[in-house]
Amino acid sequence: MNYSSLRKGILLAGGKGTRLAPLTSAFSKQLMPVYDKPMIYYSITTLMLCGIKKILIISDPENIDLYFRLLGNGDKWGIELSYAIQENPEGVAQSVLIGEEFIDSSHIAIALGDNIFHGNEFIPLLRSADTLKKGSTVFAYPVRDPENYGVLSFDDSGSVVGIEEKPEKPPSQYALTGLYFYDNTVVEKAKELTFSARGELEISDLNIKYLNDKLLNINIMGRGIAWLDTGTIDSLQEASQYIRTLEHRQGLKIGCPEEVAWRQGWINDQQLEKLAANLLKSSYGEYLTKILELNIKDGI
């Protein structure tokens, strides 16, 4: 596979997780399990599948040490992980301001830590977005409850003319997913944002700036891609069941950073074997041993 990107990644793993209370009373929701692995593994692998090796994880003061304890500096997966604190949950777009020094002169991809993507068409879509050097690329998906998301509005010709954040009367069924690709002008655009009535720097407002400049590329995710938002109890359980069903049926894992790193060529056979040895008493470790024995490195 061996795909590499010059883009950096920001992974937002903050928020209060109030819709998952009381489960989130003690720790961050992105540390909770989705079937057989921590939720954050899925968003990390999303960025890794795009070839992104430098990732900034943003979380709240209470949980940032837990993320470092789980993930370390990323070298075990051949990537570079760094960390920053979001003192208060004041919007997804705030991650750009928090990560300004990390971003430097690079383009970025922002992933929400509670979003899971899967499907054969997903990786080509990711890499197509990564090749664009100017503007922004976002992904839309039809949902039955658009009032919970940023929603696209269209004119009579089918062109996108607006984005509304969690509208009471959604203008369409197309919601923006928690994955965003931006060029380096994102920093100056984020600095121009003002707080919304909800007290947040809205990611929709940031996207609208690109839309107004005619620099917003919108990719519609089709039926060949699954997008799972794990922000509620029901959606968390549905995501776990989805992952369990596919993994049992196919014998392949979803959201496995060790496997992605190995297939990308970022770690070698010996490094994967060492990672597997530390997990041998679990089915996860058995899986790593199995793929190493089969030694099939094409595909993911």
Sorted by sequence, the CB contacts under 8 Å of residue 131 that are 6+ apart come out as: none
pLDDT over threshold 90, residue 38: yes
**Position 64 pLDDT exceeds 60:** yes
Give the pLDDT score at 276.
96
Distances (CA, A) of 251 to 23, 83, 243, 271, 287: 30, 33, 11, 22, 9
Q: Is pLDDT above 60 for 299? A: no
Tell me the per-residue pLDDT of 132-189, one tens digit each, with 9 for 90 and over: 889 999 999 999 999 989 999 998 888 899 999 889 999 999 999 999 999 999 999 9
pLDDT of 35 over the 70 cut:
yes
Model pLDDT, residue 300: 59
Q: Which pLDDT does position 191 carry in this prediction?
A: 97
Residues 74-96 have pLDDT tens digits of 999 999 999 999 999 899 999 99
For range 207-228, the mean pLDDT: 93
The secondary structure of residue 2, as a DSSP letter, is -
Q: What is the pTM of this model?
A: 0.93
Q: Cis peptide leading into 61, omega within 30 of 0?
A: no
Instruction: Report how far residue 226's alpha carbon sits from residue 232's, in angstroms, rounded to the nearest whole number.
Output: 17
Q: What is the rounded average pLDDT for all residues in the chain?
A: 91
Give 235 or 273, the one with higher predicted confidence: 273
What is the pLDDT, as a whole number, of residue 22? 67
